[in-house]
Structure 1
Amino acid sequence: MSIKNVSYYEAQQCSLQWKAFLRAFSTEFASKGDVKDLRAFMHQMGRTMAASFSIGDGSSLIALEDGMNRVWSELNWGWVEIGEEVDCLLVVHHASPLKVAFGEDALTWSPALLEGIYSQWFEGLGMDKTLRLTQRGTALEDGQLFVYELKKQVEEPSYFTRR
């Protein structure tokens, strides 16, 4: 994709009326704690946000993906692909508006918002309590792509992620 196309796409991802506010929020928010705390807060925000949307019954991975993509389409927040690996379920979120909304510096903590949304959706469908959804690596494709893994929990969850 050309730089011009990416710039155009990014300009469409966040309403102009909110862009200045969200960037100022991001700057102030980032100054209030370390990345772990910021991620925990954004994760909880995502959980709260997820409760506003129905993704259907998740009777199959295709139905689950379709339900999630219905929500993302309504919000203009990109789309998700769900795939299986040997030890986990992959949740790959494409065309995320997080970088555009919060800025590039926020890519260390803002993806926890999506992590919280997906976590809440899976739990709402009755996900096994021994599973946990976490971000794999850092943002890809210039801050537009995030990969999450749903797999057996290895460590004790933080205060905000316990349910």
Structure 2
Amino acid sequence: MSTTNVQYYESQQCSTQWKAFLRAFSTEFASKGDISDLRAFMHQMGRTMAQEFSIGDGSSLSALEDSINQIWFQLNWGWAEIAEEADSLVIVHHVSPLKVAFGEDALTWSPALLEGIYAQWFDSLGMDKTLRLSQRKAALEEGQLFVFELKKQIEEPSYFTRR
């Protein structure tokens, strides 16, 4: 996509009435803790936000993807693709408004909002408690694409069980 197309698209992603507030929020929020704390807070915010929306049908990956995308389309938050890999389920979230809303500097912590939303939705479907949803890579495509994976959590043995 050309830079002009990206700039135009980004200008349409976030309501003008909220841009100044969200940027100020982002600046102040980022100054209040380290990245892991900011991500933990945004993850929890995402879980809370997800409870506002019922994802409905989780009977197949295709039905789940359709249900999730109905919500994203209503919110103008892009769309998701879900794919099965050998050891995980991968969620690719396209054209997220996070960069536009919070700024490019926030891309280290703001995707945890989406992570929390997806985690809550999978929990609501009865996800196995040994599975964990997390962001796989840093933001891609100029902050417009995020990749998450749902996979079995590998627990580190504690100091006492390693002997």
* Bin of the TM-score, shorter chain as denominator length: over 0.9
Q: Secondary structure at the match of 1:93?
A: strand
TM-align CA RMSD: 0.8
Structure 2 stretches lacking a partner, 5+ long: 157-163
Please tell me whether Structure 1 or Structure 2 has the larger radius of gyration of its CA atoms: 2
Q: What does 1:42-61 align with in structure 2 at a 5 Å threshold?
A: 42-61=42-61
Deviating beyond 3 angstroms after TM superposition, the runs of 4 or more aligned structure 1 residues are none
C-alpha separation in 2, matches of 1:52 and 1:153 = 27
Q: CA deviation at 1:34?
A: 0.2
The residue number in structure 2 matching 1:40 is 40
* Alignment correspondent of 1:160: none
Query: Secondary structure at 1:139's aligned position in 2?
Result: coil
* Residue matched to 2:144: 144
Report what 1:12 is aligned to. Answer: 12
State the shift of 1:155 in Å.
Answer: 4.0
SS in 1 for 2:154: coil
Pair 129,21 (structure 1): closer, same or farther in 2 beyond 3 Å: same
Judge conservation of contact 1:23–1:103 (CA < 8 Å) in 2.
Answer: yes
Partner of 2:159: none
Partner of 2:117: 117
The residue identity in structure 2 corresponding to 1:139 is A
- 2:160 corresponds in structure 1 to none
Q: Which residue of 2 aligns with 1:71?
A: 71
Structure 1: gaps of 5 or more residues: 157-163
- Show CA shifts across 1:14-50 (max 9, x none): 0000000000000000000000000000000000000
1:34-76 CA-to-partner distances (Å, cap 9, x unmatched) read 0000000000000000000011130000010000000000000
TM-score (norm 1): 0.94
User: For residues 126 and 6 of structure 2, what CA distance do their matches in structure 1 show?
Assistant: 38
Identity %: 79
- Displacement of 1:133 in angstroms is 0.3
- Write the distance in 2 (CA, Å) between the matches of 1:117 and 1:154: 22
Conservation of the 8 A alpha-carbon contact between 1:57 and 1:125? no
Give the aligned length. Answer: 156
Conserved in 2, the CA contact under 8 Å of 1:26 and 1:106? yes
Counterpart AA for 2:146: F
